[in-house]
A and B are shown apart, each in its own frame.
Chain A
Amino acid sequence: MIAVRAGFIPLVDSAGLVLAAELGFAEAEGLDLSLTREASWAALADKLAVGAIDAAHLLAPMAVASKLGIGNAKPAISALMSMSTNGNAISLSHSLYEEMLAVSPLAPGAGVADKARALGATIRAREAAGGPRLTFAVVHPFSPHNYELRYILATGGVDPDLDVDLVVVPPPYIVEHLEKGLIDGFCVGAPWTLVGLREGVSRVLMTKSQIWRFGPEKVLGMRESDVEAGHETAVRLVRAVKQALEFADEPANRAKVASILAAEDYLDLDPGVIGRALEGGVPVDEASDRPVEDFIVFDRFGSSFPWRSHALWFYSQMVRWRQIEHSPAAARLAADAYRPDIYRKAFENSGVTLPSANSKLEGALGAAAPAGSTTGRLTLAGDGFFDGRVFDPNDVPGYLAGFSRSV
C-alpha cells in the first residue's frame, strides 16, 4: 500500500477524493488514502507546498497560477485530472434582485445576456443616483468563480475593477455576509448557493452551466516535482478518483453520496442540501421548478480528462483581468500545468475511452457530438458559452481582442 495524504475543502465536488477513500476505490488501487479537511484554499496550497499533504482538491486556476509563478508563489502544482464541471452560481440579495427588476424588468425566460445587462443597468442607475457601490464576493482570486462573475459584469458593461467592489469571502461565511448586508451578491460553489436559498437570504441569478454549458471547475493537484519523480502514485490516484467520480455521477447513487459527504468529517451539513445540489434543484426561473440540467457534473462525457485548452482558457482570463501579461512562453507554461500524459498513462490499455487530442476548441459544440478517440466511442458534451463565442487555445490574443475591455 502507498500512503497518500490528500486535502480537500468541504464542497460537493470534493466527492472524488471522499468517495475514493470511503468506498474502497483507493484501496483497490493499492493506496492508503487519508483525507484532511482544510479551512481555506490558501492553507491547502501551503500544505501541499511544504509536503504536509501529497495531493489536493484544488480550484483549477490555482494549478495554472502556480505553474506561472503568480499570486502567492508556490512550487508548481500539476493538475492530474478534472474533479468537477459546473456547480457554481451567481446569487444576489433579495433587495438587489428587486432593485434590478425595478430598473430593468426581465421577460420570462430571459437569458444570461439579458440578466447581465439588467444587472449592469442597475449598477449604472445606482451610480447616477449617487448610491453606494455594490460589493460582490468570490472565493479566491484564482478561481473560476472570479472569472465567471467578471465575465457577466463585463457583459453588462460594468468594469469589475472600477464600478463595483470585488472581495474574497470564504464560502462558509458568504451567506452570513449577505445576510448582514456586507455584500450584495456572490458567486460560490455547491452547496453554498443552496444554503443561501435555504436561509432565505439570496436569489439565484444564473448558474455556471448557463454561462458556460460545460465549464471546468476543480482539479486533482499534486506537486509537479513529485509527479516527475515517479508516476506510480499519481496514476493510481487518478484511477481511484475517476471511479469515485463515475459513482458520484450516477443519479441512483445520489442519496448515498449525499449521506457520505454530509458526515461531520467532510461537509458537516444537512444531507438534504447536498442532495438538492446533486440533483440541480436550484430555482433560477420563476416559471419553472425543473432541475437545472448538469448543475454539477463529475465525469459524465469523459469530463475528468484534463484538457489543456481548459488550462489555457483560465490563462486567457488571467490575461484579460491583468493578473499576468500575455506571452507565448507564459501560455505554454499555463498549458503544461495540466497533465493529460498522466491521465493517459493511467488508462492505457484499459478500455477507458480517451480523446485523440489533448486540446480542443472550447465553446464550439452547441450540443453533444462525437469526437476522435481511442475507441471511437467518445461523445463530448455540448459546451457553448452563453454569448456564442469560441475559444481557440492557440490564439489567446485573438480571443481576447473580441472582448470590449481586454489585454
Chain B
Amino acid sequence: MIDQSAARASVIEEGLRESGLTDVVILLDTELLMRRIVEIDPDVILIDLENPSRDVLDAMFQVSRTVERPIGMFVDRSEAGMIEQAVEAGVSTYVVDGLRKERVSAIVETTVSRFNAFDRLKRELADTKKALEDRTSVDKAKLFLMKRHEVDEPTAYGMLRRAAMDQNRTVAEVARALVSAAALLDKKP
C-alpha cells in the first residue's frame, strides 16, 4: 500500500489484517518507487488516487519486464460499479495477474470502506474541533459583555445573538470578532 498519510495507512492496514490479509507492506514515500515495488513483488498495489506517483505505476504496465508478473489496474468492466466507488473514494488499485477475482474484490471493498471511514473521521474531528473553538469564543465573549455592561449571562448571549442577526453572521463569528477586539482593548500600546 502506497499512502502519504501514515494515519490512514495504519487504519487501512488494520482493516486488511482483520480480513485475514497479514502480508501488508506500507510505503509512505515514493522515492525509487519502481525499484522498491520490484523488490516487494506484491500481489496487489493500493494507492491513493491523489498521489502524483500514480503515473509511475501506469508506466509499469508498459515495462512489465521490470516486474516478475504483469500488473493490471483493477478496471475489469464487470466490476464497473466497484471501480467507480474506488475512484470516488480516492483509491486506485493495481492487481498482479493471477490473484483470484473474489479475493481482489474483498481487498478493494475493505480498502474503500476504510478509506471512506478515515475521511469521515477526519471531517468529524475537524467539525468537533471547530465546535469546541466556537464554544470557547462564545463563552469568552459572554464573559466580556457581562463584566463590561454588568449584565447576566442570558442578557449577554442575547446581545451576541442580536448582533449576529443584524450583521447576518453567526453567533460564533460575532463572538470571535469581539474576543479579538477585546484583546486589543486590553493591550497597552
CB neighbours (8 Å) of A74 from chain B are: 75
What's the Cα separation between A237 and B57 when bound, in Å? 31
Expressed in whole angstroms, the minimum distance between the Cβ of B149 and any Cβ of chain A is: 42
Interface residue stretch chosen among A39-47, A250-258, A385-393: A39-47
Cβ-defined contact, B54 with A169, below 8 A: no
Residues of B47-96 contacting chain A, CB below 8 A: 49-59, 61-63, 73, 75, 83-84, 87-88, 92
Tell which of B51, B55, B57, B88 has the most Cβ of chain A within 10 Å. B55
Expressed in whole angstroms, the minimum distance between the Cβ of A149 and any Cβ of chain B is: 13
Cβ-defined contact, B84 with A170, below 8 A: no
- Chain A 164-186, CB within 8 Å of chain B: the 1/0 string? 00011110110001001010000
- Chain B 137-158, CB within 8 Å of chain A: the 1/0 string? 0000000000000000000000
Q: How large is the interface on B (under 10, 10 to 19, 20 to 34, 35 or more residues)?
A: 20 to 34
**Quick one: which of B32, B54, B75 contacts A49, CB cutoff 8 A?**
B75
- Chain B 19-30, CB within 8 Å of chain A: the 1/0 string? 000000000001
Q: How large is the interface on A (under 10, 10 to 19, 20 to 34, 35 or more residues)?
A: 20 to 34
**Quick one: which of B32, B34, B55, B88 contacts A170, CB cutoff 8 A?**
B55
CB neighbours (8 Å) of A42 from chain B are: 54-55, 57-58, 92
CB neighbours (8 Å) of A182 from chain B are: 31-32
CB neighbours (8 Å) of B53 from chain A are: 40, 170, 173
Q: How many A-B residue pairs have CB under 8 A?
A: 74
Considering only CB atoms, which chain B residue lies closest to A51 in the complex? B84
Expressed in whole angstroms, the minimum distance between the Cβ of A219 and any Cβ of chain B is: 17
Cβ-defined contact, B55 with A40, below 8 A: yes
Cβ-defined contact, A46 with B49, below 8 A: yes
Expressed in whole angstroms, the minimum distance between the Cβ of B169 and any Cβ of chain A is: 25
Expressed in whole angstroms, the minimum distance between the Cβ of B68 and any Cβ of chain A is: 18
Cβ-defined contact, A72 with B61, below 8 A: yes
Cβ-defined contact, A52 with B88, below 8 A: yes
A271 within 8 A of B: no
Considering only CB atoms, which chain B residue lies closest to A41 in the complex? B55
**Quick one: which of B54, B58, B84 contacts A71, CB cutoff 8 A?**
B58
CB neighbours (8 Å) of B56 from chain A are: 167-170
What's the Cα separation between A117 and B61 when bound, in Å? 31
A73 within 8 A of B: yes
Cβ-defined contact, B50 with A39, below 8 A: yes
Expressed in whole angstroms, the minimum distance between the Cβ of A137 and any Cβ of chain B is: 10
**Quick one: which of A47, A71, A139, A170 contacts B62, CB cutoff 8 A?**
A71
Cβ-defined contact, A139 with B32, below 8 A: no
Cβ-defined contact, A43 with B49, below 8 A: yes
Which 9 pairs show the lowest CB-CB distances between chains A and B?
A: A170-B52, A42-B54, A40-B54, A168-B59, A141-B62, A39-B52, A42-B58, A50-B84, A40-B55
